[in-house]
Amino acid sequence: MEYGLDPSFPIYAGGLGILAGDHMKSVGDLRIPLTGIGLFWDEGYTKQTISRAGQVEDGYPKTPRDALRRIDVRLEVTVRGKKVPLRAWKLERYITSTLYLLEPEHEDDRWITQRLYGGGDEDRLAQEIVLGVGGVRLLHALGEAVDVYHFNEGHAVFAGLELLRQHRYGGATLPERVAKLRPHVAFTTHTPVPAGNEVHELALMRKMDADLGFTDAELEVIGGDPFSMTVAGLRLARIANGVAELHGETARTMWKDVDGAAPIIAVTNGVHAPTWQDARIRAALVPDKAKATQDAELWNAHQAMKREMVAEIATRTGVHLKAEGFVIGFARRAASYKRADLILGDDAALAKLFDAGVQIVYSGKAHPRDTEGKKLVVKLVEAAKQHPGHVVFVESYDMRVGALLTRGVDVWLNNPRRPLEASGTSGMKAAMNGVPNVSILDGWWPEGCEHGVTGWKIGDADPADDAFDEADAKRVDLRDRQLLFDVLENEVLPAYADRAKWVAIMRASIAMSQWRFASDRMIEDYVAKVYSASAPAT
């Protein structure tokens, strides 16, 4: 649905898209024969601005088209019973792998791909019909021999419906057709958060009529009633995966009652090192240098990146942070489970941190329809006003801001409500730049954390504590806030006061992440455990 390839090409919203972008970059670097299908979003995703009065506003600039080359194919899908001719673009920049982007040919159908995650359920289904049905038809029109279809998130499930419709996977009954298709499909689920696991009423599926020839009863067999894209993905695939070890476990529990579901394994996410790791970090650590030289260069590289960040923040916000002072970074989508405001909830403890010279840099956008998320952004903007010089909010979090902050801050803070963060990848970017993580043991962090060595955990991982309901969430929030202040005061700040100790932690953070949390490793895992596990094409 989205690809984060470059800040100047905003057809992505956040983590999911940047992961797909990094996937395509590594596939190109490693020369894996994988082709990407996406949509061309005419106005991309929201660009956030904060007015002087502190109002958070969304803007929608046009996506540039100069990196696109039109492909000569005729394609058509059906939406609401009406034929929608499509055109296909091939992306000519940013990656060496192949990515096709689809959009309706005619102006009056363009509402479908106007805005990423814009509109309501009907828009979403129309988008998914273009992506899934249009995507499969494009590959066939191009004569591509496909061994495995990777439905990377439930958004792609219409591809499965189209494949079932086609003769190639034909058969007398629906179960027979599904049995023929499954060896050729892999499915990745990306979040345990309910809002991220889309469901649609069968009546709406019928209304959006994609002319694929399924009865309601057949759709129900595939995705349930209401139709769950995740359930459908699990039933149409031979193998499925979550995006970190812990998320694999969470997903297995979450979907255990789905009969006929693919087994769910885990492939932990990774980030594209050439994109996200500063070249100065790699240069500092080349093996032929003496350790003392490496240490000095690593520290100096970090200081240089930190000064660049401080200067850029001053330009953008007018706030001058102190480059000598300790800086905590927190930037992510403003979703409530990520608890951006956790650290702001205890004034006395916060004042103590500020007295010790601690500064906090925030950035984050809310989904255009997420009112809770928007309130959270307003709260962060207000905190910045309330604590000038100590808290700053950088508007319009995007790949550029992400790169700036994951290089320039001293530690990367992550405090989601466990186990709702499926993986998280910003912490991997930070780790690779020698910015250690201070994080709840959620997502990827249980795999990367060696407490006090590669970074720090906030509290422990007791599955009995994992909070899903509201009442429990409040208690967990209170406890986690206390644990967060404890680890900052008693462990992180004392370590920062000892340069040799700190540089050792920076080194350990880089060594831990360099390969294990790189997208090249992730792609090797997908090839070995997910793509190759499928039977060859019939």
Ligand X SMILES: *Cc1c(COP(=O)(O)O)cnc(C)c1O
Three-state DSSP at 328 gives strand
* Least distance (Å) between residue 432 CB and ligand X: 12
Q: How many CB atoms lie within 10 A of CB 432?
A: 25
Window 68 to 97, contacts with ligand X (CB under 6 A): none
Token pair for residue 97?
A: 């792998």
CA 23 to chain centroid, in Å, comes to 11
**Residue whose CB is less far from ligand X, 294 or 439:** 439
CB–CB of 344/439 below 8 Å?
no
CB–CB of 113/43 below 8 Å?
no
Interface residue with ligand X among 77, 202, 205, 399 (CB under 6 A) is 399
* Least distance (Å) between residue 493 CB and ligand X: 23
How many residues belong to the site for ligand X (CB under 6 A)?
14
Binding-site string for ligand X from residue 333 to residue 352, where x marks contact by CB under 6 A and - marks none: x-------------------
Q: How many CB atoms lie within 10 A of CB 171?
A: 14
Interface residue with ligand X among 14, 21, 28, 104 (CB under 6 A) is 14
* Least distance (Å) between residue 120 CB and ligand X: 24
Binding-site string for ligand X from residue 313 to residue 332, where x marks contact by CB under 6 A and - marks none: -------------------x
Q: Which residues contact 264 (CB under 8 A, 6 or more apart)?
A: 189, 234, 240, 241, 242, 248, 251, 252, 255
Percentages of the chain per state (helix, strand, coil), in multiples of 5: 45, 15, 35
* Least distance (Å) between residue 285 CB and ligand X: 22
**Residue whose CB is less far from ligand X, 14 or 36:** 14
Stretch that binds ligand X, among 41-49, 395-403, 453-461, 479-487 (CB under 6 A): 395-403
Instruction: Say whether residue 242 binds ligand X (CB under 6 A).
Output: no
**Residue whose CB is less far from ligand X, 232 or 430:** 430
* Least distance (Å) between residue 336 CB and ligand X: 14
Window 406 to 465, contacts with ligand X (CB under 6 A): 424-427, 429
**Residue whose CB is less far from ligand X, 79 or 394:** 394
Please measure the distance between the N-terminal and C-terminal CA atoms of the chain and give it in whole angstroms: 28
Instruction: Say whether residue 397 binds ligand X (CB under 6 A).
Output: yes
* 302/468 Cα distance (integer angstroms): 38
* Least distance (Å) between residue 439 CB and ligand X: 10
Q: Which residues bind ligand X (CB under 6 A)?
A: 14-15, 18, 332-333, 397-399, 402, 424-427, 429
